[in-house]
Amino acid sequence: MCLACKDQKVEVEEVDQEALRKQVQPTEVKVATAEYRPFEFLVSATGTIESDYELEIIFETGGYLDKLSIENGQRVKKGQVIGQLQNEKEKFAIEKAQAAYNKALVQYTDDSLGYSKHNEVMLRNLSLKSGLVDAEINLREAQINLDNTIIKAPTDGVIVDLETKEGSLVSAGKVLCSIYNDKNLTLTAKVLEPDFGYIKRGLLADVYPLARRDQSFLATVNEINPRVNEEGMVQIELKLNQSEGLLPGMSASAIIRVPQELHIIVPREAVVIKQGKPVIFTVVNGMSQWKYVEIGLDNGTDVEVLDGLKEGDQVVLTNNIQLAHDAKVSIAEEDLTNSNQ
């Protein structure tokens, strides 16, 4: 009879434990869907924004800067006159050279009367004898000297580094300013040697200027310098797809997106370490399922899952540190709403 009582007591305890388990509230979790797609490995780079075309505008001759019609930051067109030196002497030299040329031309015309135009040797000798050749050369030289007093923009672009003032005395070879093409900017950056193998021309990147951290600019890997420097870095060049608001000399960072093979991809928050191994919890019929997985590359946002998951699995992103296998879970309302849209 005592044994029967004992058995009855055990049965009552088991019923109480089952009831207690049913009373446990489910753990609310956020979930994401495992996707089968190319994984984008992210490579970081830092560097400086530069123009792919920048040159100095230099005075070809010396003198007083009589006119200056530009300022720093001004956009100019190719061939636009941006400055002029005093050139009264050069204009006078043109007049003298023109008069000498006209005189020599008259002399040559008179001397060549009666000679056939096909007699090239004789006509050449007459042009030399009359001084026509020298006069023409002197006229061209005078015109070049006058042209050198007029400074024109060599290309479309933006004026920078202008320091010379109107009225200044300048010498031949002095730099007036620089001009750069603001339509074609690049980021010259460096990547770590271990990441070099991932970089290829044509890869897309997001560029984040230090002065405009809240905005990114799309760029493309344009050039790779195949040399590792003493610091273990490889230099690359990224061509910016747009340049509005950017300036040469700006510091910037870049995130280069390197597509990999097709794999199961999940947010990195889904991965937790259990017993020294990577684990991902999935949700099946309102219960958590503990799954050991093999992890591939990690780009800081997503991870590759090489084994252990399948496409379409719902993976737990929150409250998964202390979550147990086969525990009751409820999906956050925002995730339910998104999944129904």
**Does 97 fall in a domain?**
yes
Indicate whether 90 and 168 sit together in one domain. yes
CA distance linking residue 314 with residue 220, whole number of Å: 35
Contact assessment for residue 36 and residue 260, using Cβ atoms and an 8 Å cutoff: no
Residue reference for tokens 């409820």: 330
Residue range of the domain that includes 89: 59-180
Which CATH number do you get for residue 329?
Answer: 2.40.420.20
- Tell me, what's the pLDDT at 80? 96
Q: What is the mean pLDDT of each run of 10 residues along the chain (341 residues)?
A: 45 50 79 92 93 93 95 95 95 94 82 63 68 87 96 95 94 96 93 92 95 90 94 96 90 92 93 93 94 91 94 95 90 60 47
**1 lies in a domain?**
no
What CATH number is given to the structural domain containing 64?
2.40.50.100
The answer to whether position 16 is within a domain reads no
220 with 291, same domain?
Answer: no
In a domain, 21, yes or no: no
Q: How far apart are CA 313 and CA 310, in angstroms?
A: 6
If asked whether residues 47 and 193 sit together in one domain, one would say yes
Q: What is the pLDDT of residue 300?
A: 85
Radius of gyration of the chain (CA): 39
Residue with tokens 């999935």: 282
**3 domain residue, yes or no:** no
Give the three-state DSSP class for 183: coil
Task: Report the number of distinct structural domains present in the chain.
Answer: 3
Collapsing DSSP to helix, strand or coil, 186 comes out as: strand
> Are 46 and 191 contained in the same domain?
yes
CA distance 178 to 158: 8
Q: Do both 75 and 137 map to the same domain? A: yes
